[in-house]
Homo-oligomer: A and B are copies of this chain.
Amino acid sequence: MDAAQEAHNREAFRQAIVNTLERRLFYIPSFKIYRGVAGLYDYGPPGCAVKSNVLAFWRQHFVLEENMLEVDCPCVTPEIVLKASGHVDKFTDLMVKDEKTGTCYRADHLLKDFCKEKLEKDPKITQEKAAEFKHILAVLDDLSVEELGAKIKDYGITAPDTKNPLSAPYPFNLMFQTSIGPSGLSPGYMRPETAQGIFVNFKDLYYYNGNKLPFAAAQIGQAFRNEISPRQGLLRVREFTLAEIEHFVDPDDKAHPKFSEVAKLEFLMFPREDQVSGRSARRIIIGEAVSEGIVNNETLGYFIGRVYLFLTYLGIDKERLRFRQHLANEMAHYAADCWDAEIECSYGWIECVGIADRSAYDLRAHTDKSGVPLVAHEKFAEPREVEKLVITPVKKELGLAFKGNQKMVVEALEAMGEKEAMEMKATLESKGEAEFQICTLGKDVTIKKNMVTISKEKKKEHQRVFTPSVIEPSFGIGRIIYCLYEHSFYTRPSKDGDEQLNVFRFPPLVAPIKCTVFPLVQNQQYEEVAKSIAKSLTAAGISYKIDITGTSIGKRYARTDELGVPFAITVDSTSSVTVRERDSKQQIRVNVEEVASVIKDVTDGPSTWGDVLWKYPTHSS
């Protein structure tokens, strides 16, 4: 199968699935009656149930199992917080404008489309040119604003809709801006991530945890990103649900006490080295990845393992899930290591979870901006003797020598590191003076021996004060759910073979409704039985749908297979009923009084369908 055919098949598969999802209201383009808004989607009833199941399982698997501290912070965020985090200055995409209509486009998207189009559809393309376009696609994310502008100009790329000329690219901040309070003087933004709400609370959370490390905080909530021109349907949207964990840890000890519980897991990993040398992702045991230094530390490795378990329990196909390490140029300068859980779907490999060791960056940034030290303390069992550098500027002499610049000189002296200070001390002792560069003044000054004393003193310390590192697993819930739809979808022929029926093979954990109740034919007796079963299901906390229409039983099964309902109860007598499993279509016969608890067992645990299949008589229709 050639590339074009493959692309066509992917497109057709996606169309089939998206049609089903929209028709059955898994999602709905928001504000549809007003022609919608690009990049905004509603979850309709089954989609909303799937989402709430995924989030409940996330809470169970991460928050409860790991005793994490969950918090819930507002979406509206004042500017100063996002100034500190860097979002006000750097959370941007490069945009170009149609010079006549003003329509906006993402500059990198236009260049990407141009290169792909040339590679795929231009038969006369030279080898040299093809290599050039491939290179651009590879380094697209690294291009500077000038480089991107130059390429667009060189290739004569125009606005896709009108063919009008385009402006030079310029940065557009992706946060939704607003104003807090009536004065118009307090700018605010809708948060682009939930993480900042945790960082600013570090001090209180650390105290809540008994001033002990490590601990993790977690948050589930809405985040916002004012995309320039949203594409890729449900994968790139303007408002989405994030579930984020910030695990705070001593930078000198990133071991994890429960690492052994995941160490033997083996799954597809794609280390940096393999990507650079053109190899493919390969199966690696996570314990070995950590011991070989492929993954930076145990805590990062532990979370990679836990994310693997989380995604596969939900029903993500483990053959289409890989952990890809960020290349050096993809990573923020402060990050120690970063791995994305990528899931393959019809759009390609999609980043669904990011697992990053962000070192001390965020806590330091908020410490600097707020003046509140976001640090941890390690109390020593016995006081430790340490040598400390002591720098004492002699202000009087400095004042005489530098007048108005005295403050800058004092600050620069006090800020010297150990090596620099000891060198100055030696120079002052040997030559009586030393040249000293003051960045804030932009020049060198001469420091004389009487202007500063530098010494090393022995001190007893009772504790170590340090900024914790943070390891951040961040989950894009909507993306995970969309990939889950693709991995769960299949079709099979109807009984008489004249049409293809859609099925979602959701595990009971995820299924929007756990079972349906169908009276086989319309009569009052069966309806009474159906209602009494429905009542027991509600009492057991099992969601169900009751369908008393006279539609054929086959059609009713098909309708609910398409919603991914795993079990169907059909009432064909007043004493016992049949229970049908969605994928195998096998049926068993169970007493009316027992059926709710059987359904409870196979949906909420501890049983599987395989278990109950042995316990009850099978039924053939």
Which residues from chain A sit less than 8 Å from chain B, CB to CB? Answer: 24-25, 28, 30-34, 37-38, 40-45, 47-49, 51-52, 56, 59-60, 64-65, 67, 69-78, 80-81, 95, 102-104, 172, 176-183, 186, 188, 190, 197, 200-201, 203-205, 208, 210, 217, 222, 224, 226-229, 238-239, 366, 369-370, 372, 374, 538, 541, 543, 545-546, 549
Contacts and interface: CB of A to CB of B under 8 A. Distances in A.
A33 to B, nearest CB: 4
A204 B43 CA distance: 12
A102 B182 CA distance: 10
B40 A181 contact: no
A201 B474 CA distance: 31
B30 A73 contact: yes
16 contacts: A30-B73, A31-B77, A31-B200, A33-B200, A37-B186, A56-B56, A64-B541, A75-B190, A75-B224, A102-B183, A104-B183, A176-B178, A176-B180, A176-B188, A178-B178, A181-B229
Contacts of A181: 38, 104, 226-229
Given A37-B186, A179-B226, A181-B228, 16 more contacts: A30-B74, A33-B374, A37-B76, A37-B78, A42-B197, A43-B73, A44-B69, A49-B70, A60-B541, A74-B239, A75-B239, A102-B183, A104-B183, A176-B188, A181-B227, A210-B549
Contacts of A200: 31-34
Most chain B CB within 10 A, of A37, A102, A177, A545, is at A37
B71 A42 contact: yes
Per DSSP, chain A at the interface is: mixed
Most chain B CB within 10 A, of A45, A69, A180, A369, is at A45
A103 B205 CA distance: 34
B366 A33 contact: yes
A172 B24 CA distance: 41
B538 A81 contact: no
A227 B183 CA distance: 11
Contacts of A102: 183
A219 to B, nearest CB: 8
Contacts of A64: 538, 541, 543
A225 to B, nearest CB: 10
Given A182-B104, A228-B181, A204 B37 contact: no
Contact of A81 (B31, B188, B226, B238): B31
A235 to B, nearest CB: 16
A56 B179 CA distance: 33
Contacts of A190: 75-76, 178, 190
Contact of A37 (B177, B180, B210, B369): B180
Most chain B CB within 10 A, of A42, A47, A52, A541, is at A42
Nearest to A66: B538
A182 B76 contact: no
Nearest to A80: B34
B541 A182 contact: no
Contacts of A372: 33
Contacts of A228: 181-182
Nearest to A372: B33
Contact of A48 (B56, B71, B366): B71
A75 B221 CA distance: 12
Nearest to A373: B33
A223 B505 CA distance: 35
A203 B25 CA distance: 12
Nearest to A212: B549
Nearest to A27: B72
Contacts of A59: 52
A370 B52 contact: no
Contact of A172 (B75, B182, B538): B182
